[in-house]
């Protein structure tokens, strides 16, 4: 199991970020090898990053497949990155 984790800040009102997250769940969740798409909001308003995506992949091979998948490329380029220029993305292998 791989977790594709993105922490980010958005240059949009919360309602727009939430709508984008719902779109991500639909678009990215349909990509083969993606097991789930979760979105969250930091509990502390002073947190360095306000939002996160936690996307599950079945295995490491899914990372490259996902990153190059046309649905991901279009969503990331046209929707997510313009809204969230301040972000950190890391893939984690679940060990325990």
Residue 61: what pLDDT? 97
pLDDT for 24: 98
Strands (E) across 1-96 are located at 2-9, 34-41, 51-57, 86-93
pTM equals 0.94
pLDDT given for residue 62 in this prediction:
97
Handedness of CA 33, 88, 10, 75 (dihedral sign): negative
Domains of the chain, earliest start first: 12-87 (3.30.70.100)
CB atoms within 10 A of CB 96: 2
Q: What is the pLDDT of residue 95?
A: 95
9-47 pLDDT tens trace: 998 999 999 999 999 999 999 999 999 999 999 999 899
Q: Which tens digits make up the pLDDT trace of 42-94?
A: 999 899 999 999 999 999 999 999 999 999 999 999 999 999 999 999 999 99
């Amino acid at each position: 199991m791989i977790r594709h984790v993105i922490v980010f800040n958005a240059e949009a009102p919360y309602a727009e970020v939430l709508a984008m997250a719902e779109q991500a769940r639909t678009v990215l969740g349909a990509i083969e090898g993606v097991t789930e798409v979760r979105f969250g909001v930091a509990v502390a308003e002073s947190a360095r990053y306000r939002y996160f995506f936690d996307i599950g992949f079945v295995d490491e091979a899914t990372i490259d497949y996902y990153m190059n998948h046309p649905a991901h490329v279009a969503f990331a380029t046209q929707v997510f990155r313009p809204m969230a220029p301040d972000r950190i993305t890391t893939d984690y292998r679940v060990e325990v």
